[in-house]
Structure 1
Amino acid sequence: MRIKVEDCVFVQVDIQERLFPHIAEKEELEKNLITLIQGLKLLEVPIFVNEQYKKGIGETIPSLRELTDDYPHFEKTTFSCCGNNDGLSAIKATGKKVVILAGIETHVCVLQTALDLLEEGFQPVLVTDCVNSRKAKDKETAIQRLIQAGVIPTTYESLLFELTVNAKNPVFKGISSLVK
């Protein structure tokens, strides 16, 4: 299946201050997430930010918060972003069927969100270099399970160029400079 920009929304999952320091390879993850979000903004993909129990886990990390402050934020206590009726309603209201996912932790909140999105009739796209967990084995196992369930795996660079489609796209130079 071809992923088309006009069909997509982006859901950011729980990249929060008190959890992020414990995530494996967090520096690379943060860099990748920044690039992904900057690219999705250039492509004008709708963005939804989810935060798990902010009182306990804190706000979205500062580098991403400054990129996403102007987009809808949803606080949740369920692990799945779909457990928050406002968040799920916002995704449904776009009329788009492809949901790009990135965040932490892959084996808990990202996994449960993707599985619920499948049940709701959406096609989740997992940006595998923009998700992680505290333990590598948890991430690897979750990605395998999600692929078996029907989630499409990709990387941020592959996705951004797939959404751009053509070197004549007005945002091509911006996307190209982001991934260098």
Structure 2
Amino acid sequence: MRITDKDTAVLVVDFQEKLIPAMNEKEELIKTSGVFLTGIKELEIPMVVTQQYTKGLGATIPEIAECIGDYKAYDKLTFSGCGTEEIYSAIKALGKKNILVCGTEAHVCVLQSAIDLKTEGYNVFLVEDCIGSRKLSDKNNAIKRAMGEGILITCCESALFELTAAAGTPHFKAISKIVK
């Protein structure tokens, strides 16, 4: 199954001020996720951004907010983004069948959101190098569980170039610069 620019949206899960410092390999997670989201913005792929209990865990970190640009951060208390009607309605309103998921924590909010989206009939892709957990074993467990649920796994560059689809276009040139 291909990821196309016409049929795809991104769910950006909980890249928050009090969560990110505790993530395993946080510098690489921030860097790669920044590349991914900058590319997504360049390709004009719609995004839904969530924040888990913003009052306690803080806002989206500046490094990620900068890559996304203007966005509304949907606050949630449920771990799954689909557990909050406002968030699920925002995803549904986009009218896309493919959802790329990035964010934290892989084994909690990311996984539960992905499973719920899959259950609702979406083609769900975890962007493996743009999801994180405090422990690598938790991230690896989340990926295994997701695969068992029929969720597909991709990575930053693979997803961006699949969305770009062809060389020699303005988007190809822009994405090539972003990923370097």
What is the distance in 1 between the residues matched to 2:67 and 2:85?
24
Query: 2:102 matched to 1:99?
Result: no
Q: Secondary structure at the match of 2:170?
A: coil
What is the distance in 1 between the residues matched to 2:2 and 2:108?
27
Cα deviation for residue 69 of structure 1 reads 4.4
Q: Deviations over 1:158-180 (max 9, x none)?
A: 11001101002221111001111
Q: Deviations over 1:111-162 (max 9, x none)?
A: 0000000111111110000001000100001101101111110000011001
Q: Is the 8 A contact 1:49 1:68 kept in 2?
A: no
What is the distance in 1 between the residues matched to 2:44 and 2:14?
22
- Mapping for residues 1-180 of structure 1, pairs under 5 Å: 1-180=1-180
What is the distance in 1 between the residues matched to 2:127 and 2:16?
18
Q: Is the 8 A contact 1:98 1:125 kept in 2?
A: yes
Q: Which TM-score applies when normalising by structure 2?
A: 0.97
Q: Is the 8 A contact 2:41 2:68 kept in 1?
A: no
**Structure 1 runs of 4+ off > 6 angstroms?**
none
Unaligned runs of 5+ in 2: none
Count of residues in correspondence between the two structures: 180
Q: Which TM-score applies when normalising by structure 1?
A: 0.97
What is the distance in 2 between the residues matched to 1:167 and 1:101?
25
Q: Secondary structure at the match of 1:99?
A: strand
Unaligned runs of 5+ in 1: none
Q: Is the 8 A contact 1:125 1:152 kept in 2?
A: yes
What is the distance in 1 between the residues matched to 2:2 and 2:129?
19
| CA RMSD after TM alignment | 0.9
